[in-house]
Chains A and B, each alone.
Chain A
């Protein structure tokens, strides 16, 4: 039972060489071997940052005095905030709900006067805390800023240990900073991306690989019948998955649901369709099931990492955000969190819906171009 008895080195070399030759022929696998590590290095090394900076912030300036302006300037200089403009209260709330800004800082009327009089005014900071990880660093910086700024500008005072105003932070949508509020709705998108792209990709290539596609095409069934007939079951599967996750979100994780459930399902359906389109396109390009699976993985990895699911979207550098914005998952996450945690209505969704539609359109065009209607 000695596995090495009669071990032939030249035979062994033969097997080795054959493996390399086959590997070289399979371009996609070869691409995976090289591409995945590079992709991971780029994503983990450069794109991901758990201490996000340059967070978009709106200012509600009810008292535009020198102290307030100095404080805003200090916020800008701190790198943590990107001041997007001065707005009124109603606009500020709208920006927060639409996920356009991460923070709204409100300087109340009489802010400067109260400061001078030594009567600590209230500085209200509202944070979009749906993703607790995204706001932590910035909030802790706000206190220090208050001490530093006013130490310089009010030299008459001794260097205080606390800012001369009361910093009131409202962590909106997720006041207790519960991670599950953010992760569970996000999982909805991740699960759908994985199963929808993979299942449709495999469903079509399986027929081709086994030769049954030829039989199907030889019947009077039209391509539209074949395509839609093969896809609809997966739409149903997707909806079942969503229902399971939502039930778990409600009863196991106690994630609130402020928005309209029907609206949520509408958005889910759009997202499912976008992923199915991609799956079909993969299946028309892939020659076998393995390739379809590899393509899915190539798409899934950046979807997980660049969409804002695992790491705060705004913590990523510009280029990564551009890539992330192409992915449907990025927009779907904003939509789901918006509907579930912020109670967003129909009128607030368009900003995230059109990128998904665009993605779908482009992928569909690509798919139709490569879809082999007959066997050639």
Chain B
């Protein structure tokens, strides 16, 4: 896959809204057939970045290509080959399922629309409900319908903006099965998400915060790239321990995971010494574990906050 051609190849992309610098010098490379995860806290510029990639917004500066087409000048041609699924359900509530699909097919100038729509309905398993208004569908079904709508014109690149927000776990799992299926068929997928399990399902990731790209690579690369050392603390009397540890020397990050506590730091020895002395008289146990993706992300998020607020 490393030799596959680049579907998205942009650098130095900037976008400002008024005096807000929403995306700063974004550089992104996504290869064909890849599932590329786009992560970052809320308001970090993910949606704006995606909108620039699919030609909805024009970058203020920068250069690059999407599907071999210039993102600054050929947005119309890009739109024709990209499937973009918006964060919010953006099909028409007051059209039926079939009417929505038919309308989208028309927008993309598809021939033989009724066949295309019938096939999409069959694949969705919604043939029997084709006359139902789209607005009356449940969240999971709306999401599946949206995906079907952006696949109608056989795009080579899918841009999915938080597609699984507010969808139940079963529907999410099915959705990701479908994404992998599409990827196997050669479609490139760029998907933004907040869920760690979804991030781990991606081939490669990028982490963006406050408009700046903080890290990118495979999940393992992103985690090792932070050079974190993590101890897992378990046992009874864990309450309050997180707060107590946070300010101690060597501790860069404390994250609670239910019955366990992840404590991470860059300085392995300092962290270990701190933990040992602090836990000596408690019934708590500590074990060195490999840092998880979530540890890495929370660490990245903290770092970016320090950078932008401190």
**In the bound complex, do residue A214 and residue B57 qualify as a contact, i.e. CB atoms below 8 Å apart?**
no
**In the bound complex, do residue B108 and residue A219 qualify as a contact, i.e. CB atoms below 8 Å apart?**
yes
Interface status of B141 (Cβ within 8 A of chain A): no
Among B76-84, B111-119, B190-198, the stretch in contact with A: B76-84
Closest CB of chain B to A223's CB: distance in Å?
11
**In the bound complex, do residue A219 and residue B104 qualify as a contact, i.e. CB atoms below 8 Å apart?**
yes
Q: Contact mask A28-46 → B, CB, 8 Å, 1/0?
A: 0000000000000000000
Contact of A214 among B56, B79, B92 (CB under 8 A): B56
Q: Contact mask B197-225 → A, CB, 8 Å, 1/0?
A: 00000000000000000000000000000
**In the bound complex, do residue A220 and residue B17 qualify as a contact, i.e. CB atoms below 8 Å apart?**
no
> Using a CB-CB cutoff of 8 Å, which residues 103-125 of chain B contact chain A?
104, 107-109
Interface status of A375 (Cβ within 8 A of chain B): yes
**In the bound complex, do residue A376 and residue B107 qualify as a contact, i.e. CB atoms below 8 Å apart?**
no
Q: Contact mask A188-218 → B, CB, 8 Å, 1/0?
A: 0000000000000000000000111011111
**In the bound complex, do residue B80 and residue A214 qualify as a contact, i.e. CB atoms below 8 Å apart?**
no
Known: A374-B58, A375-B51. Is A215-B90 also a contact (CB below 8 A)? yes
> Within 8 Å CB of A215, what residues of B?
86, 90-91
Tell me the nearest residue of chain A to B76, going by C-beta: A220
Closest CB of chain A to B310's CB: distance in Å?
30
Contact of A218 among B17, B86, B89, B109 (CB under 8 A): B86
> Within 8 Å CB of B108, what residues of A?
219-220
Known: A218-B79, A219-B107. Is A212-B54 also a contact (CB below 8 A)? no
Most A CB contacts (10 A, CB to CB) among B88, B90, B108 go to B90
**In the bound complex, do residue B90 and residue A214 qualify as a contact, i.e. CB atoms below 8 Å apart?**
yes
A215→B108 CA distance, assembly (Å): 12
Interface status of A157 (Cβ within 8 A of chain B): no
**In the bound complex, do residue A220 and residue B92 qualify as a contact, i.e. CB atoms below 8 Å apart?**
no
A221→B75 CA distance, assembly (Å): 12
Known: A210-B93, A375-B51, A376-B17. Is A218-B56 also a contact (CB below 8 A)? yes
**In the bound complex, do residue A220 and residue B56 qualify as a contact, i.e. CB atoms below 8 Å apart?**
no
A221→B58 CA distance, assembly (Å): 16
Known: A211-B89, A218-B79. Is A374-B109 also a contact (CB below 8 A)? no
Closest CB of chain A to B231's CB: distance in Å?
45
> Within 8 Å CB of A376, what residues of B?
17, 57
A221→B76 CA distance, assembly (Å): 9
Closest CB of chain B to A153's CB: distance in Å?
76
Known: A374-B57, A375-B56, A376-B17. Is A220-B86 also a contact (CB below 8 A)? no
A216→B54 CA distance, assembly (Å): 13
A214→B58 CA distance, assembly (Å): 14
A215→B147 CA distance, assembly (Å): 12
Closest CB of chain B to A137's CB: distance in Å?
53
> Within 8 Å CB of B89, what residues of A?
211
Tell me the nearest residue of chain B to A218, going by C-beta: B84
Closest CB of chain B to A11's CB: distance in Å?
31
**In the bound complex, do residue A374 and residue B90 qualify as a contact, i.e. CB atoms below 8 Å apart?**
no
Contact of B90 among A211, A220, A221, A222 (CB under 8 A): A211
**In the bound complex, do residue B107 and residue A221 qualify as a contact, i.e. CB atoms below 8 Å apart?**
yes
A36→B67 CA distance, assembly (Å): 54
Q: Contact mask A103-117 → B, CB, 8 Å, 1/0?
A: 000000000000000
6 contacts between A and B (CB under 8 A): A214-B56, A214-B90, A218-B55, A218-B84, A219-B108, A221-B107
